[in-house]
Structure 1
Amino acid sequence: MPTQIQGPHFCSDDSELLSEIMSARRDVRGNRFLADELAQEDIEHIFAAALMAPSVGFSQPWEFITITNRTTKELIADSFFIENEKAKALFQAGKFEVGKLEQYQQLKLEGILESPLNIAVFYNPKNGPVLGQTSMPDMGRYSVVCAIQNMWLKARSLNIGMGWVSILDPIKVKTILNAPADRELIAYLCLGKVDKFYDKPELETLKWQEKKTSQQVIFSDSY
């Protein structure tokens, strides 16, 4: 006799829908965002998803700042442009494979000004030991990333695009947003309605990298 599962029970259709949402998630750039404001109810749903994320020792070490002010966005964008020029210099110096500089220059890598809502996500470390984090101190940061993934999937389920901007100076962003000294910037997100979602990740379509197969990344017992 099969064991009865206690708590919510999901069917195969629910599982397939979740897989479909995960498969359709995309990193959205500024050339896809629309200027339409997001509904407050949708924003609340996205934050609710973030707060459902697992966290080491139930520490819930995430904090969020919503940014809609144009001047603040422009200051953040300035940091992106400075850091982006540094990145271009690395490609120019030949530290990456031939042809990547030209590709890099053609990529639209952020949507700070184009998206109606920006969200800065911070890690708020606990004072003292945290259950499950004493041997692996980065587990708190990974917990924040779990919250971000929840936001990404929830946004996609609402047909809202989200982009993660990582070409930023985190110290400058902290200063612009008046973040406390002990907070750590984990992500800077751009959210908004979009004119399209790509069928595949844009960088896969552009052949920036090939998609890895399960055989390449899943091992048994040891490497």
Structure 2
Amino acid sequence: MAEHSGRADHAFPPPQREGLYRAIHERRDVRAQFLPDPVPPEVLARLLDAAHHAPSVGFMQPWDFLVIDSREVRRRVHRLFLRENERGAQQFSAERQQAYRRLKLEGILESPLNLCITCDRSRGDGPVLGRTSIVDTDLFSTCLAVQNLWLAARAEGIGVGWVSILDQQELATILDLPEQVYPLAYLCLGYVSEFLQQPELARSGWRQRLPLTELVHGNGWRQALADEALHEALQEVARPCQP
């Protein structure tokens, strides 16, 4: 009987690993590349199932999914975005405002489908295991559901754009959410003409990806890594990510 190494027995085969890392590195926040083609129900079901299999603290599963195909609802959300986007622009310097206004920051009406992932802050019976010290773990858990959906969407060739420039209270009113349900992520979904080589904000010069080697610390903040081999490995994996 072959001896198990304890290192690779549970690893995915190389093509599957490569597919996962490809989805991570090629995932994009899509705003301007949406096509009108509808998302097939079976594909959307797979994406929602992937989101529902996200980890959650205390297994509370605080998420719900609002599938929004109503043009009227989307128009109301879009009007809310336009107002909040103008408010957002005014918070930057005059020069930065010009760059800001050139950016397209949503695809609410262009995408064939919108999806709101919510967090029910009352979910769970009594105290939730693991949430007794950090009450926001329900929000953190819902973010993991968003990420699951986003990576699955990339694997399916579906673009996703997160619209964060919204007043959450007014969005909750538009979507008729109960008081304890928070609209955590408003997403635009659809097939796209392309996935950009770089994130939109990096390509436009708004911000660039920070070097990974500057973000990994040793046993305390800003302490050097004791493992020189890890430092070299970090430099090696970071090279393909450089613009």
Question: What TM-score, normalized to structure 2?
Answer: 0.85
Is 1:60 matched up with 2:56?
A: no
Cα deviation for residue 13 of structure 1 reads 2.6
Q: Which protein is bigger by CA-based radius of gyration?
A: 2
- Residue identity in the other structure for 1:201: P
State the match for 2:95 in structure 1. Answer: 99
SS at match of 1:99: helix
Cα deviation for residue 7 of structure 1 reads 9.1
Match of 2:106 among 99, 105, 110: 110
- Once the two structures are superposed, the pairs formed by residues 144-163 of structure 1 within 5 Å of their partners are 144-163=142-161
- Residue identity in the other structure for 1:13: P
Cα deviation for residue 210 of structure 1 reads 1.7
Higher normalized contact order (CA 8 Å, seq sep 6+, divided by chain length): 1
- Residue identity in the other structure for 2:80: S
SS at match of 2:91: helix
SS at match of 2:90: helix
Cα deviation for residue 165 of structure 1 reads 0.2
Hey, what's the Cα distance between the residues in 1 that align with 2:22 and 2:156? Answer: 13
State the match for 1:15 in structure 2. Answer: 17
Identity of aligned residues (%): 39
State the match for 2:73 in structure 1. Answer: 72
Superposed CA deviations along residues 93-137 of structure 1, whole A, max 9, x for unmatched, are: x3xxx7321110000100001111101111012353111111111
Hey, what's the Cα distance between the residues in 2 that align with 1:90 and 1:186? Answer: 23
Match of 1:142 among 140, 143, 149: 140
Hey, what's the Cα distance between the residues in 2 that align with 1:211 and 1:72? Answer: 35
State the match for 2:4 in structure 1. Answer: 2
Cα deviation for residue 201 of structure 1 reads 0.5
Cα deviation for residue 148 of structure 1 reads 0.3
Is 1:164 matched up with 2:162?
A: yes
Cα deviation for residue 17 of structure 1 reads 1.6
Q: What 5-or-longer segments of structure 1 have no aligned partner? A: none
1:133–1:6 CA distance, 2 compared to 1 (3 A): farther
Match of 1:198 among 192, 196, 199: 196
Cα deviation for residue 9 of structure 1 reads 4.7
Cα deviation for residue 5 of structure 1 reads 8.2
Cα deviation for residue 55 of structure 1 reads 0.3
Q: Which moved more, 1:159-168 or 1:130-139?
A: 130-139
1:169–1:13 CA distance, 2 compared to 1 (3 A): same
Cα deviation for residue 37 of structure 1 reads 0.9
SS at match of 1:90: coil
State the match for 1:85 in structure 2. Answer: 86
Hey, what's the Cα distance between the residues in 2 that align with 1:105 and 1:12? Answer: 43
Hey, what's the Cα distance between the residues in 2 that align with 1:12 and 1:132? Answer: 35
Query: What RMSD in Å do the two structures reach over aligned CA positions?
Result: 1.7
